[in-house]
A = this chain, B = another copy of it.
Amino acid sequence: MTKHSGNLFTRLRAACAADWQAYTGHEFVRALGDGSLPEPAFRYYLGQDYLFLIHFARAYGLAVYKADALDDMRAAAASLSAILDVEMDLHVKFCAGWGLDESTMAALPEDAATTAYTRYVLEAGQAGDLLDLHTALAPCIVGYAEIGATLAASGRLTGNPYREWIEMYAGADYQHVAQEEIETIERLGARRGGDARFDNLARTFGMATRLEADFWQMGLDAG
């Protein structure tokens, strides 16, 4: 994940470099990496992440609807299946290991940070087109891959209670998902005027990045 083939994505990330750094290098992330994150912070984050995943799946449903090419539809539908049929189960099993069962998480009050981030993404997608939607989704998908790769490379994994989480996002499967998202951004950018829309897209990308940082902060505040 050290190099991105994608040009538009790279430019978007560079346009909000400070926000990107505040997100991917957040204190929550650092504390995951050295294992010092208080367990309540992690558990609070996990519960909200469950609620997040539901809206994330909805975003891929929206991406299927918004597509005007069969390959985009199939790609979005595959991501949707991956979330609903695989990731969600993994998340639920992972959370069970931390003592959180699914019905408890489903009944959690939604934190304002969760609301802000999920609804921002979905609404940007409804108001705009498929490129706007993916631009709002990308910081999450690609950012987690960067975080996973960085922590796996430089974090303290031995004895780290969050090792499994780190390895999940550092793993080849997830890195591949992120790479595909970058390629989607490039493909849609080429087809739908990404360069000419850059300022607008960078605003969306930066906003989603800041809302991701808020999501970490929410976890930290609960610790």
Cβ of A22 within 8 Å of any chain B Cβ, yes or no, is no
Distance of A54 Cα from B64 Cα, bound (Å): 10
* Chain A interface, number of residues (Cβ within 8 angstroms): 50
Interface assignment of A176: CB less than 8 Å from any CB of chain B: no
Which residues of A12-44 have CB atoms within 8 Å of chain B's CB atoms?
none
Pair B113/A112 contact, Cβ less than 8 Å: yes
Stretch at the interface among A70-78, A146-154, A156-164: A70-78
Which one of A137-145, A167-175, A186-194 is at the interface? Answer: A186-194
Q: Does A87 contact B (CB under 8 A)?
A: no
Contact of A61 (CB < 8 Å), options: B54, B76, B115, B207:
B76
- B residues less than 8 Å from A58 (CB atoms): 64-65, 67, 73, 127
Contact between A112 and B116 (Cβ–Cβ < 8 Å)? yes
Cβ–Cβ < 8 Å partners of A106 in chain B = 70
**A123: contacting residue among B70, B74, B126, B200, CB under 8 A:** B126
Decide yes or no whether A60 CB sits under 8 A from chain B. Answer: yes
Q: How far is the CB of A73 from chain B (nearest CB, A)?
A: 6
Write 5 A-B pairs (CB below 8 A) sorted by A numbering. A61-B61, A61-B63, A65-B65, A119-B119, A193-B197
Chain A residues with CB under 8 Å of chain B are 54, 57-68, 70, 73-74, 76-77, 80-81, 84-85, 106, 110, 112-113, 115-116, 119-120, 122-123, 126-129, 132, 190-197, 200, 207, 210-211, 214
